[in-house]
Amino acid sequence: MSIYKFNVKTIDQKEISLSEYQGKVLLIVNTASECGLASQLEGLQELHQNYQDKGFSVLGFPSNQFMNQEPLEGQEIAAFCATQYGVEFPLFDKIMVNGETAHPLYHYLVNETKGKKIKWNYTKFLIGRDGEIIERFGSLTTPEKIEDSIVEALSTSV
């Protein structure tokens, strides 16, 4: 089992398979533009930019599940992230990350990390080149603190 079996919608509503990212190291993050942690978008973009040529990508999944901190939709989200934080990494359709209505990808991510529900925005999942979860990081773990784990994952072949 890996993340490659899941389909997701891009921010502009195109359905894609996560198998398009096969062989890459990924950092999957639930984002929200009005969250006090939104400044992490800058650090996430920096990681994406610094390591994309080595086979790394950040994948952002906006969610309005925590205190309605993502009121924007689709291209509004993309424009905000690009304008305010220089985000160029892929953003996907706004989803739920907890509960019965959670996106199947997030059901999988939560179940594979001891079933602990997502507590807040900017929870991060580091995915290896094989599509399996390497590590889960809480909301307060800044992108800079994950860099060593990303470098290590990038040095591992499939």
- Partners of residue 60 on adjacent β-strands: 29, 91
Give whole-number Cα distances, 9 to 43, 68, 115, 157, in Å: 24, 21, 24, 28
**DSSP 3-state of 145:** helix
**What is the extent of the structural domain holding 69?**
3-154
The residues annotated with a catalytic role in the active site are 35
* DSSP string for 90-122: -BB-----SSTTS-HHHHHHHHTTTTPPP-STT
Token pair 């800079």 is found at 144
Instruction: Show pLDDT as tens, one digit a residue, over the chain (158 residues).
Output: 799 999 999 999 999 999 999 999 999 999 999 999 999 999 999 999 999 999 999 999 999 999 999 999 999 999 999 999 999 999 999 999 999 999 999 999 999 999 899 999 999 999 999 999 999 999 999 999 999 999 999 998 66
Which pLDDT belongs to residue 157?
Answer: 66
- How many domains does the chain fold into? 1
DSSP category for residue 140: T
Of 25, 100, 108, 95, the C-alpha closest to 66 is 95
Q: In this structure, what CATH number is given to the domain that contains residue 49?
A: 3.40.30.10
Interstrand relation of 133-137 and 15-17 (parallel, antiparallel or unpaired): unpaired
Q: Which two tokens stand for residue 76?
A: 């509004």
Give whole-number Cα distances, 3 to 10, 140, 143, in Å: 16, 24, 21
pTM of the model: 0.97
Which pLDDT belongs to residue 19?
Answer: 97
